[in-house]
């Protein structure tokens, strides 16, 4: 089917209206009218080919919430009229060891991204949520708790699960000491979710003006990472540090704040770190530096259900689809508190 979308034809081109093809609903498919789509740093990086490998035309968007408008004959998960969500992946092999253990995001044969992935149905590549509709196999469609605001729930599909997955993997719970580096789309969700799990939460920030925001979001304390005296007060304290910073930065000062057996997990930056990582404190304290990316479908549903139980959503600014290019520029300046969400009704105007 031919539908309206917003995307770009080249790395140096602005996003603009375009038409794309979606497959007709098959037996296991769910068609969703997209009501809201969150805006992620990955959207911008893909549109501008910052990571290489972008296939054009590119239609970003993997924080999708909407309404079910059609279902296939074998679908049992949802019915027409239900609220539904789609995150960062829309397919995987479902046969490898990762998939069999609900880790589709680490599919050994390659998970299919919601955009810029291999389209197994129509050929070519997948298109994301900056569009009127999406058609997805029911296995990769998620249920949205009825009490959550749909617009504010959209960023849970990436920013939420990206921070939830390490919190669960490293078994954060009551009494855990967790720190979050960076207060943006990912960081503010990490604070909310860690706090919801019962952890004592500290925000690391380079700028003092983030202190009030961090405390308002639920952090127990804020440490200014550029202040050596403040950093010394938390040496050897944390069980888990979630590093959400999306650019090159020195992680060595933060490793020093890990407890014995503590882990710093990178969720925001892809690429080489500078300066080199000093392994001395890691070896002497059995400390770890790790990485993590989103979560599988079961874990994402668990996160959504947890957010429903604790009434956790993102802090958002709603924009029109036509304002996406301006939003990208603002996002690069960290001029958003804390996630843009597109009202997709604007695409029809």
Based on the structure, what is the number of domains in the chain? 2
For 146-196, the pLDDT digits (tens) are: 999 999 999 999 999 999 999 999 999 999 999 999 999 999 999 999 999
Question: Looking at the domain assignment, is residue 309 inside a domain?
Answer: no
pLDDT tens, the chain, 349 aa long: 999 999 999 999 999 999 999 999 999 999 999 999 999 999 999 999 999 999 999 999 999 999 999 999 999 999 999 999 999 999 999 999 999 999 999 999 999 999 999 999 999 999 999 999 999 999 999 999 999 999 999 999 999 999 999 999 999 999 999 999 999 999 999 999 999 999 999 999 998 988 999 999 999 999 999 999 999 999 999 999 999 999 899 999 999 999 999 999 999 998 888 888 999 999 999 999 999 999 999 999 999 999 999 999 999 999 999 999 999 999 999 999 999 999 999 998 7
Owning domain of residue 194: 160-291
- Predicted pLDDT of residue 329: 97
> Does one domain contain both 266 and 331?
no
Question: Looking at the domain assignment, is residue 18 inside a domain?
Answer: yes
> Does one domain contain both 90 and 178?
no
> Does one domain contain both 148 and 32?
yes
> Does one domain contain both 170 and 254?
yes
> Does one domain contain both 85 and 185?
no
Q: Which residue has the tokens 């490793």?
A: 255
The CATH code of the domain that includes 201 is 3.40.50.720
> Does one domain contain both 153 and 164?
no
> Does one domain contain both 59 and 118?
yes
Give this prediction's pTM: 0.96
> Does one domain contain both 25 and 147?
yes
- The number of beta carbons lying within 10 Å of the beta carbon of residue 81 is 9
E runs forming strands in the chain: 2-7, 16-21, 29-38, 64-71, 83-86, 89-91, 112-113, 133-137, 142-143, 177-181, 200-205, 221-224, 238-243, 258-266, 288-291, 316-320, 339-343
> Does one domain contain both 83 and 206?
no
- Predicted pLDDT of residue 348: 83
> Does one domain contain both 94 and 140?
yes
Domain end position, chosen among 243, 259, 291:
291
Question: Looking at the domain assignment, is residue 67 inside a domain?
Answer: yes
Question: Looking at the domain assignment, is residue 305 inside a domain?
Answer: no
> Does one domain contain both 143 and 268?
no
Say if residue 23 is exposed, middle or buried (CB neighbours under 10 Å; 0-12, 13-18, 19+): middle
Question: Looking at the domain assignment, is residue 209 inside a domain?
Answer: yes
Q: Are 112 and 126 in contact (CB under 8 A)?
A: yes
> Does one domain contain both 142 and 175?
no
Say if residue 347 is exposed, middle or buried (CB neighbours under 10 Å; 0-12, 13-18, 19+): buried
Rounded CA gap, 186 and 40, in Å? 9
The CATH code of the domain that includes 46 is 3.90.180.10
């Amino acid at each position: 089917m031919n539908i309206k979308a917003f995307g770009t034809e080249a790395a140096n081109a602005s996003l603009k209206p375009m038409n794309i093809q979606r497959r007709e609903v098959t037996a296991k498919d769910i068609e969703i009218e997209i009501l809201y789509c969150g805006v992620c740093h990955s959207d911008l990086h893909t549109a501008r080919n910052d990571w290489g490998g972008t296939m054009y035309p590119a239609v970003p968007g993997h924080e999708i919430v909407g309404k079910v408008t059609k279902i296939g004959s074998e679908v049992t998960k949802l019915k027409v009229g239900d609220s539904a969500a789609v995150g960062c992946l829309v397919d995987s092999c479902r046969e490898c060891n990762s998939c069999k253990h609900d880790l589709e995001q680490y599919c050994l044969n390659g998970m299919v991204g919601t955009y810029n992935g291999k389209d197994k149905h129509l050929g070519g590549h997948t298109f994301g949520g900056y569009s009127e509709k999406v058609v997805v196999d029911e296995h990769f469609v998620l249920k949205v708790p009825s009490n959550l605001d749909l617009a504010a729930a959209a960023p849970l599909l990436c920013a939420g699960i990206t921070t939830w997955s390490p919190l669960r993997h490293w078994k954060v719970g009551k009494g855990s000491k967790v720190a979050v580096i960076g207060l943006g789309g990912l960081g503010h969700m990490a604070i909310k979710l860690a706090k919801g799990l019962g952890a004592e939460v500290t925000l690391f920030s380079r700028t003092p003006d983030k202190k009030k925001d961090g405390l308002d979001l639920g952090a127990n304390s804020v440490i200014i990472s550029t202040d050596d005296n403040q950093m010394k007060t938390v040496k050897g304290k944390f069980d888990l540090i979630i590093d959400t910073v999306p650019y090159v930065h020195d992680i060595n000062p933060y490793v020093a704040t890990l407890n014995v057996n503590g882990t710093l997990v990178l969720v925001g930056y892809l690429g080489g770190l500078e300066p080199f990582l000093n392994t001395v404190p890691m070896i002497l304290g059995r400390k770890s530096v790790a990485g993590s990316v989103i979560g599988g479908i079961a874990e994402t549903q668990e996160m959504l259900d947890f957010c429903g139980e604790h009434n956790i959503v993102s802090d958002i600014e709603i924009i029109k689809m036509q304002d996406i290019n301006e939003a990208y520029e603002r996002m690069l300046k960290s001029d958003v508190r804390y996630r843009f969400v597109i009202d997709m009704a604007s695409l029809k105007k």
